[in-house]
Structure 1
Amino acid sequence: MMQSPQRTMGKNLHFIIIPPPFQGHINPSIQLTLKLASKGFTITFVNTHSTHDKITKTCDDDVFAGARESGLDIRYRTISDGFPLTFDRSLNREQFLEGRLHVYPAHVDELVGQLSGSDHPPTCLVVDTFSTWGSNIAWKYGLVYVSFWVQPALALTVYYHHELLKKNGHYGCTDTRKDTIDYIPGVRFLEPTDLISFFQETDTSTAMHRLIQKAFADVKNADIIICNTMEELEPEAISVLKEKQTVYTIGPLFPSQFTDQSVEMDLWPDSDCSRWLDSKPPGSVLYASFGSYAHSNKEDIRAIADGIMVSGVSFIWVLRPGVVNCEAVDYFPDGFHEIVGNIGLVVPWCKQKMVLSHSAVGGYLTHCGWNSILESIWVGVPLICFPLLGDQTINRKLVVDDWKIGINLCEGKFVSGDQVAERIKLVMNRETSHVLKKNIEQVRKTLENAVGSNGTSRVNFENFVDDVQARSFAKN
C-alpha cells in the first residue's frame, strides 16, 4: 500500500538535537528526542565529551539503548567542548563560557558537516536558545533551524526584549533604575529584584553578557521556537512571542511515566532514599535541593542547615559536590549531624521525581529551576523558594506572586537560621500547606489539560512536526 506524501516525507526527516552541558537542559532534550523518534523520525542526539564522561560514571553508556531496542532510530554522538575532561567547568565559568562562544561552535560545525555528507543527511537542527551559532550552521547546511527554550515563557520574553531594559535604564547602567518595570510586552510588571539575575549585575562585560547578546540576536533568525511551557499557563507572554516569530508551546516535557527515570541523564551518582521515605508519615518530610549547576555560599548553607535543625522537621537534603564555592569540607553548624542524625538525610544526589512523588514529602526547598517547578506542580508539593542564578529569580515570581503555590525562604538577600526555621514550619503546617496545595491543584490541571488528547501542547507538537516537514520539503 502506498504511503501518503506527508508520511513518506516524515520518515526521511533527520533531526540533530544539541543541548548545552547542563542537566536542566539535557533532560528536556531527551524527552523531545523520544517524542520525535516515536513518530518515525531519525534523531542524532549530541553531548559533549565531558558530559558523556560524567554520565557514564552514574549510568549506562547508552541512555537510549532501551528506546533503540523498541525500534526508535536514535543515534548518539559526542564532541569536544574545547576543554580537557579534568577542567572544572562550573568553578571556572568565565573561561568555560568564553570557550562556548569561540571554540565550541567549530566542533559543532565539524560534526554537522560530517552528518550532512552521510547516507541519511540531517534536515533539521534543534539547539538550545542559549546557543549563539544555530542560524549560521543551519544556513550553511540548508537545515531547518529550531530554537528550543527550556525555561518559562516569561523569562524568554524578558531576554527577548532585554534591549528595552537597557533603553530604560534598568540594565547595563552604572546607576540602574529601581522602580517597577512595566514596559516589556507580555509582562504586566516586574520589580528589579524579579529580573533574571544576569540583568541585575553591574558588570556587563563578562562572557555571560556577551553570550546573551549573541544568543538572543540569533534566536530571532530561528525558523521555529519551541518552548517547554503551556499556552494556558503563560498566555500573555506566549501571545507576544507569537507576534514576533513562529512559536509552539509543547510542555511539560516529562517521561511518559512521571517517575520513570530510565531515559534521563544524571551527572552524579544517585542515593536511594525510598526505604527511608517509606518509614515516614505522609507529608512529614521536607525535600531540599539546589539543582545541578548554581553555587551558593557557605554562610547561606550554614544558615539553612541551622534553620532545618531548629525546625525539627524530617528532611532529605541534596548537596551535590561543589555546591559551595569554597574549599571548606564541612560547612554545617556545630552539632548538626548529631541533632538531625535520626530525622534527616544529607545526600550528594537522588532521583528527584521519585522523591518528590513519594507520599512522605510535604514541601520542597528549591532553587526554582524550571524543571523542578514543573515537577513539583505535577505531584502537588508546595515550594519554598531560594533562587540562586539566571531565570530562577523570575521563576520565583511566578511561584510566589502569580500562582501562589509557594513562599519565599527569605525576604531580601540575607538568610538567617531563625527565618529559615519559621518558613519551613509554615509550609509544612497543615493549614498553610492546604491553601498552597489547593492553588497547586489548579495549576496542575492546566498541565494535565495541555498534554491531554486534545490539549494545546499535544496539538502544538503535531503542528510543529508538520511545520518542520513543510519547511524541510521547501528547502530540498
Structure 2
Amino acid sequence: MVNEYYQGKLHVVFFPFMAHGHMIPTLDTAKLFGARGVKCTIITTPLNSPFFTKEIEKSKKINEGRSMIEIEVFRFPSVENGLYKGCENLEQAMMSLDMAEKFIKAASMLREQLEQYLEKTRPHCLVADMFFPWATECAAKFNIPRLVFHGISLFAHCTKEMVMVHQPYNNVSNDDESFVVPFLPHEIMLTRSQLPREYLVEGEQSELKRRHKKIQESEVQCYGVIVNSFYELEPDYADFFRKQLGRRAWHIGPVSLCNKSQKDECSLDEHKCLKWLNSKRPNSVIYICFGSLAHLIAPQLQEIARALDDLDYEFIWVVREDKYRMSEEWLPQGFKERTQGKGLVIGGWVPQVLILQHEAIGAFVTHCGWNSTLEAISAGVPMVTWPLFAEQFYNEKLVNNVLKIGAPVGAKKWQVVHFIEDLVKHENIVNAVRKIMDGDKGLEWRNKARKLKEMARKAIEENGSSYCDLTSLINELRDYHFQKHD
C-alpha cells in the first residue's frame, strides 16, 4: 500500500554497494533528491539497515515526522558464498583479496531479489552502484531507466578508461618506469606498480578485467551516470567524459555538504574530539585517517608514530578499530607519554566531515579515497597523499598534479595488504607534512584549497552547477515517465 503522502511523486530507488564508502554518499544523494520532493527508497541488507534507519530518524525530527527516504531490506547470501555468517559489508571481507572476491560474488546474487522488487513496485528510476553492472538488464526488463552511481571522480574514471583501453603500461620495461596516460587533458604519469596486478595479465583472463568490461558495457547501455563531484573542480574531465567517452553524466556533488545540521546531531563522544580541536590554533593540527578499508601493518603504524614524534605539530590520528582494540604494542615505547596533550589516537569512527571543516585542521594525511578527498576539498584543507589501492593513485594525481593542493609521501605500490618491503619511511612522511604546514609552497596550496572550498559550496547552492545538474536530471526523469505513459 503506497503511503498517501507519496502518491503522484517521482520514485527513485537507490541500490548502493555494501561498503560505507558507497553507502554514505548514496544516502547523501538520496537526501538531495528527497529535498526536491522525490520519494526515495534505499535497498540494503539486514545488518547494514541500522546505518540508514538512524539517519532517516534524524531527518524525521527536522521534517515534522516525515522523511522522503524509505528502506527496503534484501537478504544477503554470505554463507552460501564461503563468507562467515553476518558478513554483509566489504569492510568485514577485506582481510584478503580472496574474501573480497567472495563478497563481490555474493553481492551479485542479489539480482533475483532486485528483479522481484522492481516488478512489484515499478519505480521511475533505479540508481544502482557501479559494482552491480547487471542492474542495467534488471531495470530494462521493466522499462525503468537505470543510472550508475560512481563513487569515484571523473578524473579517475577517465584515467582508468585510458589505461584499460590503450594499455600504455606495455610500453615500459619495468614496474617502476613511468608512462604517460594517453589522450588526457593533462600529462599524467603513472608506473605499473601503481596499478592492480590484474591489469597486467595478458588477454581477458583477469577477473578485474572481466569485471571492468561488464561495468563499461553496462554503463554504455544504461541511462547515464551520477557523479559525486562538481563541474568547477574537474571541468576538463567532465567534458572528456561526456564528449570523448560519449557517456551521459550528471555531477551533483559534493553530496556531503547536504548535512548542514550534522554538528547538532553529534554524540557526546564525538563532541569531545571537536572540543579538543576548539582549543587549538587555526591550521595547527594534522588529521591522519586512511578510511574504513585500509589495513596498515604494525611496522607502518610505527613509522607514522615516529614521524609524529619528530614533527612539532599537534595531531588527530584515526586507527582502524580492530588494530587499536587488539593492543597498543605497535606504538613506539613512550609514545603515548611523549604526545600527551599533543595529539589524539582514536580507534574506530570519527565525524570526519566536521573534523575537516574545523579551522584548527592544517593538513590531512589521506589514502585518497574519493569521499575523503572531496570532503577535504569541500573544507579547503590541503592534503598529504598516501594512496593504497582502488583508484586512489589516480586521485593522488588529481590532487597533486592538476589541482596542486597536496604533497605525496611517495607511495609506490598498489596493494590491499602491504608488506615490510613496501613501508613508507617516517622521514618521507615528515617531509611531506612540513611542505604543507610550513613555507611559501604550503601557503600557496592552502590558498588554492580555500578557493576550491568556495567553488564547492557555490556548486550546490541554488543556480550552482551541481544544483542545476540535479534539477535537469529530475526534470528529465519526470518527462521520461510522463512520455512513457502518454
Q: TM-score, normalised by structure 1?
A: 0.85
Q: What SS does the aligned partner of 1:76 have? A: strand
* 1:68-467 map, 5 Å: 69=64, 71-83=66-78, 84-86=85-87, 88-101=92-105, 103-118=106-121, 121-166=122-167, 168-170=168-170, 178-184=177-183, 186-193=184-191, 197-198=195-196, 202=200, 207-243=207-243, 244-258=246-260, 260=262, 272-322=272-322, 330-348=329-347, 349-410=349-410, 412=412, 414-429=423-438, 431-467=440-476
32, 37, 41: which one aligns with 1:35: 32
Aligned equivalents of 2:72 and 2:479: distance in 1?
27
Cα offset, 1:417, TM superposition: 1.5
5+ residue gaps, structure 1, are 1-8
Aligned equivalents of 1:208 and 1:98: distance in 2?
13
Contact 1:134/1:145 (CA < 8 Å) preserved in 2? yes
Cα offset, 1:93, TM superposition: 4.2
Cα offset, 1:471, TM superposition: 2.4
Cα offset, 1:474, TM superposition: 3.9
Name the amino acid aligned to 1:254.
S
Cα offset, 1:212, TM superposition: 2.5
Seen in structure 2, the aligned counterparts of structure 1 residues 199 and 143 have a Cα distance that, compared at 3 Å, is farther
Aligned equivalents of 2:131 and 2:163: distance in 1?
14
Aligned equivalents of 1:100 and 1:386: distance in 2?
25
Name the amino acid aligned to 2:144.
L
Cα offset, 1:315, TM superposition: 0.7
Seen in structure 2, the aligned counterparts of structure 1 residues 52 and 31 have a Cα distance that, compared at 3 Å, is same
Cα offset, 1:136, TM superposition: 1.4
Relative to structure 2, which stretch is displaced further, 347-356 or 64-73?
64-73
5+ residue gaps, structure 2, are 1-5, 79-84, 413-421
Q: What SS does the aligned partner of 1:180 have? A: strand
Seen in structure 2, the aligned counterparts of structure 1 residues 240 and 380 have a Cα distance that, compared at 3 Å, is closer
Aligned equivalents of 1:448 and 1:60: distance in 2?
22
Q: What SS does the aligned partner of 2:44 have? A: strand
Seen in structure 2, the aligned counterparts of structure 1 residues 414 and 111 have a Cα distance that, compared at 3 Å, is closer
Q: Deviations over 1:58-101 (max 9, x none)?
A: x5785654466453332112223321215732214433433423
Q: What SS does the aligned partner of 1:49 have? A: coil
Contact 1:369/1:391 (CA < 8 Å) preserved in 2? yes
Relative to structure 2, which stretch is displaced further, 205-214 or 26-35?
205-214
Q: Deviations over 1:346-381 (max 9, x none)?
A: 112210111112222211111112222222222222
Aligned equivalents of 1:50 and 1:372: distance in 2?
24
Aligned equivalents of 1:309 and 1:55: distance in 2?
39
Q: Deviations over 1:132-178 (max 9, x none)?
A: 21211111222111111221101111334454233x4549x997794
Aligned equivalents of 2:312 and 2:176: distance in 1?
42
Q: What SS does the aligned partner of 1:116 have? A: helix
The alignment-based identity, stated in percent, is: 22
Q: Deviations over 1:412-461 (max 9, x none)?
A: 46411222223323322264432221111232233233223322211111
Cα offset, 1:384, TM superposition: 0.8
Aligned equivalents of 1:105 and 1:10: distance in 2?
32
**1:6 alignment partner in structure 2:** none
Q: What SS does the aligned partner of 1:130 have? A: coil
Structure with bigger RCO (C-alpha 8 Å, 6+ apart) = 1
Aligned equivalents of 2:7 and 2:180: distance in 1?
45
Contact 1:154/1:187 (CA < 8 Å) preserved in 2? no
Q: What SS does the aligned partner of 2:230 have? A: coil
Name the amino acid aligned to 2:136.
S
**2:416 alignment partner in structure 1:** none
Seen in structure 2, the aligned counterparts of structure 1 residues 397 and 450 have a Cα distance that, compared at 3 Å, is same
Relative to structure 2, which stretch is displaced further, 439-448 or 123-132?
439-448
Q: TM-score, normalised by structure 2?
A: 0.83
Seen in structure 2, the aligned counterparts of structure 1 residues 468 and 192 have a Cα distance that, compared at 3 Å, is same
Which one has the bigger helix percentage? 2
Seen in structure 2, the aligned counterparts of structure 1 residues 245 and 161 have a Cα distance that, compared at 3 Å, is same
Name the amino acid aligned to 1:75.
E
Aligned equivalents of 1:100 and 1:232: distance in 2?
34
Q: What SS does the aligned partner of 1:245 have? A: coil
Name the amino acid aligned to 2:69.
I
Aligned equivalents of 2:197 and 2:405: distance in 1?
25
Seen in structure 2, the aligned counterparts of structure 1 residues 301 and 396 have a Cα distance that, compared at 3 Å, is same
Aligned equivalents of 1:123 and 1:198: distance in 2?
37
Seen in structure 2, the aligned counterparts of structure 1 residues 141 and 117 have a Cα distance that, compared at 3 Å, is same
Contact 1:10/1:41 (CA < 8 Å) preserved in 2? no
**2:419 alignment partner in structure 1:** none
- The alignment of Structure 1 onto Structure 2 pairs a total of residues equal to 456
Seen in structure 2, the aligned counterparts of structure 1 residues 338 and 377 have a Cα distance that, compared at 3 Å, is same
